[in-house]
Amino acid sequence: MARGYCLLPSAPEMYHSETKVGHISNHESYHIVEKFKNSVCSVCENKRPKFELMKEYTYVELHEATHGFSPKNYLSEGGFGSVYWGKLHGLKIAVKKHKFASLQGEKEFKSEVNALSKAIHENVVMLLGSCSEGNNRFLVYEFVCDGSLDQHLSQHSRKPLDWPARIKVAIRAAKGLLYLHENNIIHRDVRPSNILVTHDYEAM
């Protein structure tokens, strides 16, 4: 994809432990929502979506948002399936298209929805909703504007990170991971390609 954005990597797989997710107080939730509301990339002006209850999208909506899952909207490929960018109601999104392969795959899909629907933190990519129609399984995430960390660490990167930026990304990523662990959500696949960054080096 062009438009000055790097490619969005595959969204990470999540595992929600059997322990109950930690409670988020109304006070904490208010400040998190306020921070999301005022979070705008200073370079591309990409806005983070407002926090809302997770939505159930239709296949038609996601098909139209991604121009029929056009190759021009293609972002990445993983063992789970493919990721496409799209635009829905004026909001830029990333649509994770799961392969429908087995009962285990269905279990992992439901586990990811269950875990991430409860994750509300400025350093965790927001899950906006999902779609389950027939054999189709999709997860809809907010779009993170400057791609994945591994793209910036590559020797071929056109925009290598200086040390202050690397430290900022490391701290933000650690905060997101700490939040998940405190709420009994185990990531299982922490690596540079699964850490997304904005042009301001906010990591998720």
User: What is the C-alpha to C-alpha distance for residues 76 and 7, in angstroms, rounded to an integer?
Assistant: 7
Handedness of CA 122, 117, 179, 75 (dihedral sign): negative
| Alpha-carbon distances of 59 from 29, 46, 52, 82, 137, rounded to whole Å | 31, 25, 20, 15, 9
Alpha-helical runs (H) found in the chain: 26-37, 59-65, 103-116, 149-153, 163-182
Handedness of CA 60, 100, 5, 43 (dihedral sign): positive
SS3 state of residue 15: strand
Catalytic residue among 146, 150, 162, 189: 189
User: What is the C-alpha to C-alpha distance for residues 115 and 15, in angstroms, rounded to an integer?
Assistant: 7
User: Catalytic annotation on 200?
Assistant: no
Which stretch of DSSP H or E encloses residue 84? Answer: strand 81-88
Catalytic residues: 189
